Amino acid sequence: MKTKQEAIQTVGNVFGITAQHDQRADLSFITLENDKVVPALVHLRDVEKYVHLVMITAVDYIEDGNFQITYLLHNYINKTDIGVRTLINRDEPIMQSAHELWRQIATYQRELHEMFGITFPGSPRMEENFALEGWEGPPPMRKDFDTLQYSMKTYSNRSGRKTHDPKRYMKEQLKQDINKVYTDDKSTGDKNV
């Protein structure tokens, strides 16, 4: 049985690792070049027995102009995880599709396409909506999509509703009732009021 470190070393020798981060004894993250990711996933699955694809996700590093895609794999024999990371250009987000490797990958890729605008050429049902039916806007999970601004622009306040600034309102309420609260406190003996 190979350990996680030996598996990472083999991946490094064959595909070249640009960065490695050991978070726990049973969890490491490795960064690979864009085009080496899918072959490395095949190697990890078939040779190193990282057979379980836990999830795929993307992180938006807007300041560097990159998306980081993470494929998390689990090995049921030595009970360890390896996160395979790669950076892709944020302006032209295209990544090689891995839908042939695990059956659930196509769904993850559909989600990443909708939420981040990352394209996976050849992935099935790529253009179908995942969760946002009829959405016409930028991919919403990108950091430059401002949800507050969007809702201010899209929705309006219903008339006849009274709103308060929570900070000021709470202060006013507390000042008003402060004596009352403390007398109640003494009478019941409850410190948690």
Partner 1 sequence: MFELDRSKYPPNKDGKADYDIDSHKYLKLWHGPQHPGVTGNMSLELTVSGDEIIDLKTHVGYLHRGFEKLMERRKYINCFPIVCRICVPEPDTNEYLYSAAVEELSGIEIPEKAKWIRTLNLEMSRLGSFLMWLGGQAGMFGMGSVGQWCIAHRDYILDLFEEMSGARIYHMYMVPGGVRGDLPEGFGGRLEAVLQKCEKVIKDSEIVMLYNVVLQARLKGLGVITPEMVDQFGIVGPIARGSGIKRDVRKDSPYLIYDQLDFQIETEDGCDGWARLKVRFKEMKQSISLIRQIMEKMPKTGELKAKMPNPLHWKIPAGETFVRAESTRGEYGYYMVSDGSEYPRKITVRGPSYTHAMSLLEYMSVGLNLADIGGLMGTLHTYPPEIER
Minimum CB separation of residue 133 from partner 1 in Å reads: 6
**Residue 41 CB: number of other CB atoms within 10 A?**
23
Count interface residues toward partner 1 (CB under 8 A): 35
- Contacting partner 1 within 135-154 (CB under 8 A): 140-141, 143, 147-148
- Contacting partner 1 within 103-132 (CB under 8 A): 103-104, 106-107, 129-132
Which is closer to partner 1, CB of 2 or CB of 74? Answer: 74
Asked whether 72 and 53 are in contact (CB, 8 A), the reply is yes
User: What type of residue sits at position 31?
Assistant: T
Minimum CB separation of residue 81 from partner 1 in Å reads: 6
User: 63 — phi, psi (to 5°)?
Assistant: -70, -25
Token pair 């394209």: residue: 119
From residue 67, how far is each of 57, 80, 84, 105, 160 by CA, in Å? Answer: 10, 25, 14, 18, 44
Residues that bind partner 1 in the complex, under the rule CB under 8 A? 21, 23-24, 26-27, 29, 51-55, 57, 59-60, 70, 72, 76, 79, 81, 83, 102-104, 106-107, 129-133, 140-141, 143, 147-148
